[in-house]
Amino acid sequence: MINKLWDKGYEPDKMIERFTVGQDRELDMKMARHDVIGSMAHVRMLESIGLIEHDELPVLIEAMEHILKEIERGEFEIEPDVEDVHSQVELLLTRRLGDIGKKIHSGRSRNDQVLVDLKLFMRDELIRTVKSVEKIFNRLVELSDKYRDVLMPGYTHMQVAMPSSFGLWFGAYAETLIDDLRLIQAAYDIVNQNPLGSGAGYGSSFPLDREMTTRLLEFGDMHYNVVAAQMSRGKSERAVAVGLAAVAATIGRFAMDVCLYMSPNYGFIGFPDEFTTGSSIMPHKKNPDVFEIMRGKCNRLQAVPNELTLLMANLPMGYHRDNQLLKDVIFPAFDELTDCIELCDLMLRHIKVKSDIINDPRYDYLFTVEEVNRLVLSGVPFREAYRRVGAEVQQGTFKADRTVKHTHTGSIGNPANEEIKAKMNKMLAKFGICK
């Protein structure tokens, strides 16, 4: 017989059991620590309103701290006949403490218990994501500084357009990540609200002190309306998914650039042989498999918000079991994005930038705008300068002057990396991550 918080003395059909439980037990292991932390705050509150005796509280807290240590040591498990992590924690407390352990569920439903666990879990995972983003940001800025003066072609419409630099290329992706963190921050603010005390979505007749649990769990705010608290299920996950998808879009786009720039047709960058793969029949091939898989995974991550939207579409107010499937989608997304960022950082530690590519005659026309601007600076009207250079291009007489003098903020000669780092530090401070 499987231990359930809703047990009424009968067992459902085995196929029904398997179908409805799904991956819950495996995914719940990720929230074990958060379930115990949430329960510790809850029992402290129960003691303050008289639903747990004063001398019972330290006994419960000590037992929960012991379970926390078991989780940290990897000794905690959800037993085969236990439905989920909530049931397992309560079962352990009841085994070890008897009737005292049976009191911890007073004043809450599994609905708000799950919500608290999810919000604590996602809050931690978002901080982990931010720290990963900070790591790749620092790598990109470091490379931007290192290759600041190395020119490369810039493209519009996939056509050779104007001079750019590796400093601008790396730095552009660094700064873009800051905007992605703005979406992560919005998701964090949505997640960082206390739902505990909302029960099944309609509150409780117990005099719960929800302000106390908000403080104990260090939530930034509370979901005040108990119905709104339950309505945050799905909405929180979708907000998180949008933030993750933003970072994935940036990493995926960078991966696409790398795949192009590694190809012989471009030949801008390279990697050691051990960071590439080969072909089963073409001896010359060095394939960018890491970045291709990274691109594919990041594209898949950008589909997560839509998947969650469809999962929650047309659901009326109140809890529905469909919500259980949210974990199947959002939990793996955190790990997949972190893996992509970590692999990207590893690859960038070994990137080889080719410093003389701009000297190839195929890039002569990159410098037409530079020539137009030189004429304008000498007093020639812009339209006349444009016509002259255009005629030289048409007649095949244009001679490229590869001297580039860009000085304005954010340009080749002044990429403003210090300002970009300052902007990132301001963003990190909003997450409590300070330099």
Q: Which domain holds residue 386?
A: 361-395
Average pLDDT over residues 406-431: 95
pLDDT, position 11: 64
**pLDDT band at residue 20 under the 50/70/90 scheme:** low
- More confident call, 293 vs 275: 293
- More confident call, 81 vs 412: 412
Is residue 22 assigned to a domain? yes
Whether 164 sits among the annotated catalytic residues: the reply is no
Q: Quote the pTM value.
A: 0.91
Is residue 8 assigned to a domain? no
Catalytic residue among 34, 39, 157, 406: 157
Is residue 3 assigned to a domain? no
Q: At 71, which CATH number?
A: 1.10.275.10
pLDDT of 12 over the 70 cut? no
| Percent over 90 (pLDDT), the chain | 83
Domain count, the chain: 3
- Determine which helix (DSSP H) or strand (DSSP E) holds 153, and give its type and residue range: strand 151-156
Q: Are 236 and 249 in contact (CB under 8 A)?
A: no
Average pLDDT over residues 336-358: 96
pLDDT, position 356: 93
The amino acid at 50: G
**What tokens were used for 423?**
């902007």
Are 324 and 204 in the same domain?
Answer: yes
Is residue 321 assigned to a domain? yes
| Percent over 70 (pLDDT), the chain | 91
**What tokens were used for 194?**
């206390």
pLDDT, position 314: 86
Is residue 273 assigned to a domain? yes
Are 65 and 122 in the same domain?
Answer: no
The amino acid at 419: E
Are 117 and 90 in the same domain?
Answer: no
Is residue 325 assigned to a domain? yes
Closest residue by Cα to residue 367 from 412, 408, 409, 410: 412
Whether 408 sits among the annotated catalytic residues: the reply is no
pLDDT, position 17: 62
The amino acid at 26: E
Are 159 and 239 in the same domain?
Answer: yes
Average pLDDT over residues 336-343: 97
pLDDT, position 9: 55
Catalytic residue among 279, 320, 350, 355: 279
Are 252 and 132 in the same domain?
Answer: yes
Are 85 and 130 in the same domain?
Answer: no
pLDDT of 7 over the 80 cut? no
